[in-house]
Structure 1
Amino acid sequence: MLELTRITAGYDPRDPVVRDASLTIAPGESVGLLGPSGCGKSTLAKVAALLHRPDAGTVVLDGRPVRGWRHGAPRAQRTAVGVVFQQPRLSADPRLSLRELIAQPLRATGRRAEVTDRVAELAPAVGLTAELLNRRPHEVSDGQLQRACLARALVLRPRWLICDEMTAMLDASTTAALVAVVEAYRRESGAGLLAVGHDRVLLERWCDRTVGWQGISGRVATQESMSPTG
């Protein structure tokens, strides 16, 4: 279970962008977090991904309270969560080829022996050819780079996947392809998913349930659960 309880978070303790927010995701469940820009969705997603320390509240991951954040989190918790961000060019090292980008988490966790096989497995799954793997970010499209970023998020086989506006900059065909990759991974692994976005139709079709946030002055104010439309 991924449990966020009474989270208050932001970038200035005097003016948090998320106030007293709670969210629970079960293993294998897909939850959509829907709301307008500036309402605090991405901040809450970063807290869930162990990338941002909240000012108040608790995060429990697989039954264990989270005590550290970013590189301060225990490796077992840190590697249990895969994240895909909205803007791939801001989350990819421009010096790396797509092959090296995908392999980054394996190298960082001392699993270099798995690089060749794991990249070879993931590249076709996300729609990347061997030729594209040799290119650097400035040599590929946003959609191709986001495919590599999704592969990077999956390379450690996370139990939880957080997609923060993953498809916001992509065309409809690439969006459908990446959502299909995520769903195939969920079916195979039983991973839980938090999908953040402002496209109600996409989230309600993609997720088991959707949580709607209404922002007031940039703060998360209310929560309502909505059932999927199909």
Structure 2
Amino acid sequence: MTAAPAHLTAHEVTAGYGRQVVLDRVSLRIARGETVGLRGPSGGGKSTLVRVLALLHRPIHGQVSIDGTPVTGTRYAVPVAVRTRIAVLFQSPRAAADPRLSLTDLIAEPLRATRHPEHEVRQRVAELAELVGLTSDLLTRRPHAVSDGQLQRACLARGLIHRPDYLLCDEATAMLDASTQAHVAAVITDYQQTHRAGVLLITHDPALMTRWADRVADLAPTDNSAQQR
């Protein structure tokens, strides 16, 4: 009996905003357990492809599939069991974080939104806070009272809270100092190895791309096709 394919795939995706087409017939596959690097010029559609793969942006044409099953809809139109299999870590933690929430509540929000018992939420937040290196005094603070690196650690914990099968990192370490960058990368790598997660890596740091990615896809500036190698 043949095992079902285990990958997150964009099939011939065309996407944009209004009349502006940003991606034109792009295909990309991320298998469980591998790290795929994505390169391309600024404004070339890398972040749009991340949003399409994360089921946050509806393509004009084409589709996203998970483990061979096409996914229809975006955001809350997608069943919880499907959409929580994908997580995103964005470049700017301040743009991604609700400034009204403490770091505890920021991390816990996805579990509370899916109606998990509060004792399970508290336990999971504590586990992840330790994993990413957030102390108890930091967890009570709001985003304005912590550094970018501390906030990105909280966003990483939030991203891992549902134990996703695929993690999409959109310049996630670009705003971090070297030590925090190394810590975030180590946490993601350990999580990937433990859970056989697929990782998409977007970075302008060629050294990081070389060290981390198993293979690299180039988003060509002329026709926005992802050429994998």
Question: Which of the five TM-score ranges fits, normalised by the shorter chain?
Answer: over 0.9
Please tell me whether residue 77 in structure 1 is matched to residue 88 in structure 2. Answer: no
CA distance in 2, matches of 1:163, 1:223: 17
Moved more, 207-216 or 23-32: 207-216
1:11 corresponds to:
17
1:131 corresponds to:
137
Q: Is the 1:68–1:74 contact (alpha carbons within 8 Å) kept by the matching residues of 2?
A: no
CA distance in 1, matches of 2:163, 2:111: 11
For 2:41, what is the secondary structure of its paired residue? coil
* Residue of structure 1 aligned with 2:187, choices 181, 203, 217: 181
Give the number of aligned pairs. Answer: 222
CA distance in 2, matches of 1:206, 1:178: 12
Q: Is the 1:2–1:26 contact (alpha carbons within 8 Å) kept by the matching residues of 2?
A: yes
1:224 corresponds to:
227
Q: TM-score, normalised by structure 1?
A: 0.93
CA distance in 2, matches of 1:39, 1:63: 27
1:102 corresponds to:
107
**In the superposition, relative to structure 1, how do residues 112 and 92 fare at CA in structure 2: closer, same or farther (>3 Å)?**
farther
CA distance in 2, matches of 1:60, 1:100: 31
Letter in 1 for 2:38: L
CA distance in 2, matches of 1:108, 1:202: 34
Shift of 1:71: 1.1
CA distance in 2, matches of 1:82, 1:2: 12
Letter in 1 for 2:110: P
User: For 1:175-214, what aligned pairs fall within 5 Å after superposition?
Assistant: 175-214=181-220
Please tell me whether residue 120 in structure 1 is matched to residue 123 in structure 2. Answer: no
C-alpha offsets along residues 28-59 of structure 1, whole Å, 9 cap, x if unaligned?
Answer: 11111112210100000100000100000111
Structure 2: gaps of 5 or more residues: 1-6
CA distance in 2, matches of 1:36, 1:62: 29
CA distance in 2, matches of 1:89, 1:112: 28
Q: TM-score, normalised by structure 2?
A: 0.93
* Residue of structure 1 aligned with 2:93, choices 80, 88, 95: 88
Q: Is the 1:40–1:215 contact (alpha carbons within 8 Å) kept by the matching residues of 2?
A: no
Structure 1: gaps of 5 or more residues: none
Measured on the aligned residues, the alpha-carbon RMSD in Å equals 1.2
* Residue of structure 2 aligned with 1:64, choices 64, 69, 74: 69
